[in-house]
Structure 1
Amino acid sequence: MNALPYSGAALKVSAVHFFIGKGASGLLNLGILLWLVRLLPVAEYGVYVSLQAGMLLALAVTSLGLPWMAARYLPEFRLYASGKQLTRFVWQVVALICLFAVAGALLLFVAMPWLLEILNFTQQTDVARLYLLVLVIEGLRLNLQECILEPLLQQGQTQFSQVVRNLILLLCLGIVANQGTVHLNHVVLAELAGSFLGAAVALRGMHRYLCAHRKLSGKDGWQPPNWSEMWRTMRHMYISLIVTLTYSPSALIFLVQRFLGVEITALFGFLLNLYGQICRYLPAFLLFGLIRPKLMASYVGEGGMAQLAYNANFMGKISLFVLMPILVFVWLSGGELLSLLSGGKFTQSGYYLGGLLLTLIPFSQRQILETVAVACGQSHLCFWGSVLGALILPPVYLLLEAGHSLWIPILAIIASQILFNATLTVAMGFTTTYRPDVVGNFKLIAAALVGFILGFFVKMTWTGRLFLQGANSFDEFLQNFKKIFSMLLTQQIAVPIHGLLGLVIIAAFALGLFLLASLLFNPFRVDERLSLNRLVKRKIL
């Protein structure tokens, strides 16, 4: 077996390309997010958020399980197939991607008047139809990255495509903003230009890779799996995806728009965009394009379930280790952070952001559990996990219809992720030898809770001196205490230092408290610390 494509050396080279490109694309993504929320009026930003959500839903529906199929079988083709077999399989996947995306866009074009009438967006018909081109082109680019380049560990090409797309988008927005007011149709045209050039870069990278490996000899006696076998393997993941889409954040955006209005939709969309930015830089998500092919290859090769379980638990704990101080920071200063990032458009909503980020605790483990289930042939468990998660949808609909606040969709996301993870964890405990590191994960969550309590105590101590020192009677004390409690509920308690400098100080404070608590709880085992130190060639744990 030719293990070189997924060796440790190959993984490190791909990781270097990945981090360089991810840093650049991440800064560009953040710049686009913060600039758009300032350029567009709140109503148009709410429509834009809805269009983005619709595109994500459409791409997921038209994927028909191709991303998971490519993630499972493309590493096997790269390890065992000849160059001709590899090229044929890759171009077949690309052809299916294009066919499904175009078919989905045509169906949406026909159904567009009915859909826009439901959402009260009939005045945005022209923009919505133009966005169908973005759906096709951006869908091609994203699928080339996820289905082809990432499983082949071509992270340099993946990130270059993303950087080109973001640079062109920013350049177009800058030109329009320099000439006058920016409207939604300008943003859609800018996205279309960026996606087109980004897709061209991804196609070029894929073609060059296939040309460089056209002389692969392949392994004697290996026969490629037929398409019916691959579809049977992936059908559970696709059905699971379709069920999950009914209560996904993208679907909840449309419920919020229908029952709470376009301005609340703009707030929820901005919160989800921030959530997405943080999510993309968690190790479990950030390294997914690197780790998933490695996990699949190790299981298909000689590592088996033992190595798969070890790597999965290790990555899950690293992801939580990065996430926990972010949660502490946001819960201590979310209101001021949100106001600063939105340019003052969204204030006193910090606890919404903190609650939404809590969903990242189960979500950071979900992708890992899905990968383990697919690798060991238990993908049908993902379907049952999705079905149980869908139980939250009826009460969400009824509560939003009754006029309840934005907390309803946030709590629904948390509950659905927990139900999915619990289903897979319990079921795989009976059907496989995989066991999650419950103790290690609990220690990380406990360290974050201790860090938050300590930070909250410091914040309350300072606030208490400010508001309670002037109380000369029990009635005055009680009035001031009620004032403090009311400000806590609306995230209005200020910190001694305001603005960006104050947020940096709080972030450093939150990180220090969490690291101190982690040192006491010691969530990583000795072999995990040694593995990470060897990987980065530094003693960091």
Structure 2
Amino acid sequence: MSAPPARKNYYSASAARRGLLQFALGKIVSAVLGLAFLALSVRLLAPQSYGVYITLLAGAELFYLVTGLGLSTVAQRYVAEYRLKAVAQDFTSFLRRQLRRRVYLSLAALALLLLAWEPAMSATGLGLGRSWMLPVGLLLLGWSGYCFLEEVMGACLLQGYSQTLAALRNVVRLLVVWYGAHQPSGLTLELMVWAEALVTLASWLTAELLVMRWARRAPSAEGAVADFEAPDMDAVARRFYVVQLAGQAYGINITKMLVMRLLGAAQAASFGVAQSIADIVRNYLPAHLLAGWVRPIMVARYVKNRDLGEVALVVNLVLKVNLLGLLPLAAAFLVAGDELGAWLSNGHYPKLGALLSVMMLGLVLQSLHLLLTMVALTLESARASLRATFAACLALPVLVLLVWQMGIMGAALAMLVTELIWISVAWYTLAGQGHRLHLDLLGWAKIAAAAIGGAGLGWWCKSSGLGGPGAPGTILAALAALGLGFAALVWILRPQREGEVLLVRQLLKGGNNKS
């Protein structure tokens, strides 16, 4: 008799460490490539064209979220559960069904959009003619497929695949910018959109081939059973889809499109440059590194142990890591953001410092928002997210008013208001359901105090004018003083707690831990 097929623990500590290492290395490479692409594109593309390009990408993200009908929740929550509990063949079939469903939804929504092309272009302020239907349609189709597979790869701890594809995408985009710069007409919006569409399509198809190949070859998880089903999956996915849909009413993508509609392409470009820098911080740099990696770990551990205390420990640890990166960045942009924006854009966008600083504070709140969403998703508590999202939607008139009265700074401030509303309502709703998460406010305050102290030191160094006001030497000295002051104050104040240190040691310790 042949031996039964080997079983595997897909969410062990060693698997988590391997995923984290792949994630970290990939993010570092993508950060360098992404920053290079941003610097070249904002220098070479006219502000009006860059504003349209940024708004199109925001529309692609909206298209993915709106047309998913709950598939994003399936990827984030139930792919990991099926990987744990379903035998390999059933997991592969489940995954194939979800991938096909994503394609069918995209094609149906795309057909409706193309039928209503002219009203859609008028409503968004983009004003693109029918000649743009093919590249924009391909972009939307590829974007929705690739974004879904990114979430699937994250849930399966396939960060090696996702980060390699992200790096290759940025390499190709850089080559396109370089090619456009050497053409007689220069870098054009049409070239950028076509390149984005084709690169995204290729990334989607490659990712699907890699994921399905892995799924067919991977053995069942330890404890997996035949004919496993998650009976609440569709209902939970629908509830969280309503949350996602309502959340778009005040989210960054709607904000970008609102800036485009009310303020025009030039202001949309300035806002888009600042938001692109914020996106690099959020998606690529260590300040937001753990958020995408920790979701499947949180789901797997809670499914196994049902320990809310461990979930709270992970939330506090991840947010502190984010704060250690985001708050000094907010301080640095306040001190030297104008000079950075002018250098990055070759003088096209010289006044971004205050806007970037506010956006870093917004990322702090978005980090906590993301973590609380992960907690609600892990606990299968759509009520917390639903109440918080509808409460934040009430601030939509505030968003419109602030954009109208204060321009792009008003848009950034409105995002802070909506995030504060969302976080407050979500936390209190979870607490009312018996899921009271302990948040280490004192530890967060210590990191904030260190950032404020570092900012003061950096500002003093800059105002002293060593080497002349605005000179590169002065800016570098100010940033160095800020960084050293922040590090010294963090070391003195010690915001970490013992349980967090032990968790980090457990995740980073090599070898034989199978937990």
Structure ranking higher on relative contact order (CA contacts 8 Å, 6+ apart): 2
Summarize deviations over 1:177-235 as a string: whole Å, max 9, x none: 32331211111121122113222321221122112126668634773124xx2121122
> 1:395 Cα deviation (Å)?
2.6
Which segment drifts farther, 243-252 or 229-238? Answer: 229-238
CA distance in 2, matches of 1:426, 1:415: 17
CA distance in 1, matches of 2:391, 2:34: 34
SS of the equivalent of 1:405 reads helix
Partner residue of 1:116 out of 121, 130, 147: 121
**1:247 maps onto 2:250 in alignment:** yes
Contact kept? 1:282, 1:364, Cα under 8 Å: no
Match of 2:373 in 1: 370
CA distance in 1, matches of 2:364, 2:147: 25
Match of 1:205 in 2: 210
Partner residue of 2:424 out of 405, 422, 445: 422
**1:159 maps onto 2:168 in alignment:** no
Query: 1:52/1:82 Cα in 2 relative to 1: closer, same or farther (>3 Å)?
Result: same
**1:498 maps onto 2:471 in alignment:** yes
Residue identity matched to 1:40:
L
Larger radius of gyration: 1
Residue identity matched to 1:423:
V
Partner residue of 1:278 out of 273, 277, 281: 281
What does 1:144-223 align with in structure 2 at a 5 Å threshold?
Answer: 144-146=149-151, 148-180=152-184, 181-213=186-218, 219-220=224-225, 223=228
Contact kept? 1:284, 1:315, Cα under 8 Å: no
CA distance in 1, matches of 2:117, 2:415: 28
Query: 1:41/1:140 Cα in 2 relative to 1: closer, same or farther (>3 Å)?
Result: same
Residue identity matched to 2:119:
W
Query: 1:173/1:334 Cα in 2 relative to 1: closer, same or farther (>3 Å)?
Result: closer
What does 1:232-311 align with in structure 2 at a 5 Å threshold?
Answer: 232-281=235-284, 283=286, 285-302=288-305, 304-311=307-314
Partner residue of 1:440 out of 432, 439, 443: 443
CA distance in 1, matches of 2:201, 2:125: 30
Q: If the length of structure 1 is used for normalisation, what is the TM-score?
A: 0.87
Query: 1:497/1:409 Cα in 2 relative to 1: closer, same or farther (>3 Å)?
Result: closer
State, as a whole percentage, how many aligned pairs show the same letter. 26
Which segment drifts farther, 44-53 or 529-538? Answer: 529-538
Residue identity matched to 2:373:
E
**1:338 maps onto 2:341 in alignment:** yes
Contact kept? 1:370, 1:379, Cα under 8 Å: no
**1:327 maps onto 2:299 in alignment:** no
Match of 1:528 in 2: 500
Match of 1:478 in 2: none
Query: 1:193/1:223 Cα in 2 relative to 1: closer, same or farther (>3 Å)?
Result: closer
Summarize deviations over 1:236-281 as a string: whole Å, max 9, x none: 3211111111111211122222222221111011111111111114
Q: Quote the RMSD (CA, aligned, Å).
A: 2.4
Query: 1:451/1:152 Cα in 2 relative to 1: closer, same or farther (>3 Å)?
Result: same
Match of 1:81 in 2: 86
CA distance in 2, matches of 1:128, 1:440: 51
Match of 1:413 in 2: 415
**1:13 maps onto 2:18 in alignment:** yes
Which segment drifts farther, 183-192 or 253-262? Answer: 253-262
SS of the equivalent of 2:394 reads helix
CA distance in 2, matches of 1:113, 1:298: 49
**5+ long unaligned stretches in structure 1:** 467-493
Match of 2:455 in 1: 452
Contact kept? 2:330, 2:356, Cα under 8 Å: no
Query: 1:529/1:453 Cα in 2 relative to 1: closer, same or farther (>3 Å)?
Result: same
Residue identity matched to 1:429:
A
Contact kept? 1:279, 1:285, Cα under 8 Å: yes
CA distance in 2, matches of 1:133, 1:190: 10
Query: 1:283/1:232 Cα in 2 relative to 1: closer, same or farther (>3 Å)?
Result: farther
Summarize deviations over 1:14-51 as a string: whole Å, max 9, x none: 22222222222222222221111122111111111111
Which segment drifts farther, 262-271 or 177-186? Answer: 177-186
Match of 1:34 in 2: 39
CA distance in 1, matches of 2:92, 2:254: 36
Residue identity matched to 1:150:
G
CA distance in 2, matches of 1:120, 1:73: 38
SS of the equivalent of 1:4 reads coil
Query: 1:184/1:220 Cα in 2 relative to 1: closer, same or farther (>3 Å)?
Result: closer
**1:350 maps onto 2:353 in alignment:** yes
SS of the equivalent of 2:238 reads helix
Count of matched residue positions in the alignment of Structure 1 and Structure 2: 503
Residue identity matched to 1:410:
A
SS of the equivalent of 1:79 reads helix
Residue identity matched to 2:411:
P
Query: 1:86/1:111 Cα in 2 relative to 1: closer, same or farther (>3 Å)?
Result: same
CA distance in 2, matches of 1:2, 1:366: 36
Partner residue of 1:44 out of 49, 60, 63: 49
Summarize deviations over 1:109-137 as a string: whole Å, max 9, x none: 12220122234433544235521211101
CA distance in 2, matches of 1:288, 1:7: 18
Query: 1:220/1:210 Cα in 2 relative to 1: closer, same or farther (>3 Å)?
Result: closer
Query: 1:344/1:303 Cα in 2 relative to 1: closer, same or farther (>3 Å)?
Result: same
**5+ long unaligned stretches in structure 2:** 1-5, 511-515
CA distance in 1, matches of 2:383, 2:80: 21
